[in-house]
């Protein structure tokens, strides 16, 4: 009997530290802000999407806190974006009061914008100077969510790629429930699903994120052991797209008469190898004010014989482009022929992103773009760099280090107690 009693005591002692930590993690009086507890060596990897970046097409974002800035006011952070076939890696500097980027390498500019609008978005309400607790009904209001009150709405465990977390749900309701899951011991959200504030129809996602892995490493973690892929060498002489002042606009019905495509592109007379921006709407035949949602499509260019020269979707490593509410805006590099480049907008079908599309509304629209020759020495690809071959996933310990140390101490005391008690030792 004493043997079982002793084991019961040891089991209880082992569970106490974890239970105490759980109570701490779920305490409503805990305070939090984006970046809380961030330190050198911390790294986080997310699956993330943002509505203004390819209509919320997911990609993987990883960042590692390399070191402090020279004045101690911020952190130098290595950021890696694996976005389809595109990989970009660079350094951004974030602050300690709020973890927003203050400077960054030019090749990761778009991805730092996504980071600011997703991972660190809650710093609109909570900062190091003004942390928030989970026992207040509202953290604040903002016009970006329709003026709704944002604050703690629930407390729950959530499981993501990085593990299971004891979280508070920060949220609001505007047609649908918007939720951001926060663990007070983690510097950034572990999960989020936030929707666009719309007045009619089903709101599309504004952003989503899920924490895939996290940890701490004094040297660059293996998950960052990837080099940027090639980027197109664009001439500084290229004219910047301007849809308001220099564009061509038209409307056409698909070859199958399935729908109407309203398109605009800029510049009106671009150079090969220079940026061109397309703004496209997929509309019902019977009422062009009604958009066709969940549209999967692509934009091709062809030569005079109809041979495909480029695909915008393939250029970013995707099977198709996606317009969740029937509208899209795409900027790409023009690959075609002069004096005319033949462009095809192919409506591939409807259905959620990544699904097999319903092709009942499939069809194409063709038009020609007046194109000028590429500038001398530009429009080519830069030298090759390493690809994704070395991409590996890091793992996170199941328990935090503090709990493991406490458990080890308890076990040590128990062993010592048994050795100092001969009768109990013999019975065991």
Confidence of residue 360 (pLDDT cuts 50, 70, 90): very high
Q: Higher pLDDT residue, 379 or 294?
A: 294
Could you tell me the two tokens for 251?
Answer: 């409307």
Name the CA dihedral angle for 301, 379, 321, 343, rounded to a multiple of 10 degrees: -20
Position 405 scores a pLDDT of: 39
Position 178 scores a pLDDT of: 94
- CATH code for residues 248-370: 2.60.40.1930
Same fold, 33-224 and 248-370: no
Confidence of residue 388 (pLDDT cuts 50, 70, 90): very low
Position 143 scores a pLDDT of: 64
Give the span between the Cα atoms of 274 and 266, in whole angstroms.
11
Confidence of residue 315 (pLDDT cuts 50, 70, 90): confident
Average pLDDT of the residues of the chain: 84
pLDDT in tens, 100-124: 999 999 899 999 999 999 999 999 9
Query: Does 233 have pLDDT greater than 90?
Result: no
pLDDT in tens, 37-65: 999 999 999 999 999 898 898 999 999 99
Query: Does 155 have pLDDT greater than 70?
Result: yes
pLDDT in tens, 392-424: 333 333 333 343 334 334 434 443 443 444 333
Q: Tell me how far apart the terminal alpha carbons of the chain are, to the nearest angstrom.
A: 10
Could you tell me the two tokens for 300?
Answer: 């091709």
Mean pLDDT (whole number) for 136-142: 86
pLDDT in tens, 321-357: 999 889 999 999 999 999 999 999 999 999 988 889 9
Give the span between the Cα atoms of 371 and 270, in whole angstroms.
5
Q: Say what angle helices 2-25 and 401-419 make with each other, to 10 degrees.
A: 160
Give the span between the Cα atoms of 213 and 355, in whole angstroms.
26
Confidence of residue 203 (pLDDT cuts 50, 70, 90): confident
Domain extents in the chain: 2-25+405-427, 33-224, 248-370
- 33-224: CATH architecture: Clam (2.50)
């Amino acid at each position: 009997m004493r043997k079982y009693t002793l084991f019961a005591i040891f089991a209880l002692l082992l569970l106490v530290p974890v239970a105490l930590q759980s109570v701490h993690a779920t305490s409503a009086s805990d305070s939090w802000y984006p970046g809380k507890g961030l330190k050198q060596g911390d790294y986080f990897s997310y699956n993330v999407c943002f509505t203004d970046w390819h209509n919320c097409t997911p990609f993987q974002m990883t960042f590692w806190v390399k070191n402090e800035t020279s004045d101690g006011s911020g952190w130098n952070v290595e950021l890696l974006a694996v976005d389809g076939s595109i990989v970009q890696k660079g350094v951004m500097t974030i602050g300690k009061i709020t973890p927003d980027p203050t400077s960054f390498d030019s090749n990761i500019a778009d991805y730092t914008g996504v980071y600011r609008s997703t991972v660190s978005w809650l710093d609109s309400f909570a900062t190091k100077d003004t942390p928030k607790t989970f026992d207040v009904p509202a953290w604040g209001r903002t016009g970006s969510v329709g003026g709704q009150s944002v604050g703690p709405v629930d407390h729950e465990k959530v499981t993501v790629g990085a593990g299971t977390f004891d979280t508070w749900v920060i949220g609001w309701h505007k047609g649908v429930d918007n939720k951001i899951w926060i663990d007070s011991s983690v510097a950034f959200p572990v999960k989020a699903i936030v929707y666009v504030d719309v007045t009619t129809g089903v709101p599309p996602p504004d952003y989503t994120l899920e924490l895939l892995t996290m940890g701490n490493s004094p040297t660059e973690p293996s998950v960052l052991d990837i080099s940027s892929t090639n980027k197109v060498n664009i001439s500084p002489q290229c004219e910047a797209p301007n849809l308001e002042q220099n564009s061509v606009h038209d409307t056409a019905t698909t070859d199958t008469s399935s729908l109407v495509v309203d398109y605009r592109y800029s510049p009106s007379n671009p150079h090969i190898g220079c940026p061109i921006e397309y703004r496209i709407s997929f509309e019902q035949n019977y009422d062009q004010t009604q958009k066709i949602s969940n549209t999967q499509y692509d934009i091709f260019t062809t030569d005079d014989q109809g041979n495909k020269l480029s695909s915008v979707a393939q250029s970013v490593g995707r099977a198709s482009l996606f317009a969740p509410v029937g509208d899209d805006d795409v900027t790409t590099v023009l690959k075609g022929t002069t004096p005319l480049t033949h462009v095809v907008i192919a409506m591939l079908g409807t259905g959620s992103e990544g699904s097999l599309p319903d092709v009942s509304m499939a069809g194409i629209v063709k038009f020609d773009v007046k194109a000028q020759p590429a500038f001398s020495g530009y429009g080519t690809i830069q030298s090759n760099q390493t690809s994704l071959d070395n991409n590996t996933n890091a793992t996170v310990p199941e328990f935090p280090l503090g709990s493991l140390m406490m458990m080890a101490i308890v076990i040590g005391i128990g062993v010592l107690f048994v050795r100092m008690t001969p009768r109990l030792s013999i019975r065991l």
